[in-house]
Amino acid sequence: MRAVVRRKVTPEELLERIGLAETLKNEEVLPDLLVAYMAYEEEGEYSYVVEEEVPLSLARRLLSPKMSKLIDLLKSSEGLCVSEIARALNRSPPNVYADLKFLAHHNLVTLERRGRRAVPHLLMEELRVIP
């Protein structure tokens, strides 16, 4: 059994991938990466998507009831800060923030700072568990 995550790539990660593709002379991937980065520069949207195999332990945590509710809320309600998310889920802000940091560590969420507020943006599009 294995788990695969489909997610958007951040601009910082795009730059790293562009550098790596240039270093390795990977002419197949480089044009797509450059187009995706230019689209981000012009429109501010993350458009480059990758599929990666993830450990089953990560998939298990993503499928837990609290994490599933958090991810569903992030999908449906863009722009909420941590305290607003915590209120909507009836959870404490520190616990929600810890879950968001976990997701950010695995590149499934970005946390944007707006003053003292942290606003998460979901990068994960899909999780598949393959038997």
E strand spans, the chain:
2-8, 49-54, 109-114, 117-122, 124-130
Q: How far apart are CA 88 and CA 79, in angstroms?
A: 13
Paired strand residues for 109: 122
Average pLDDT of 68-89? 95
CB 10 within 8 A of CB 46: yes
In order of their start, the domains of the chain are 8-52 (no CATH), 54-130 (1.10.10.10)
| Distance, CA of 122 to chain centre | 5
Tens-place pLDDT, residues 10-64: 889 999 999 888 888 888 888 888 888 888 888 887 788 999 999 999 999 999 9
Q: What percentage of the chain has pLDDT greater than the value 90?
A: 63
CB 122 within 8 A of CB 111: no
* pTM exceeding 0.75: yes
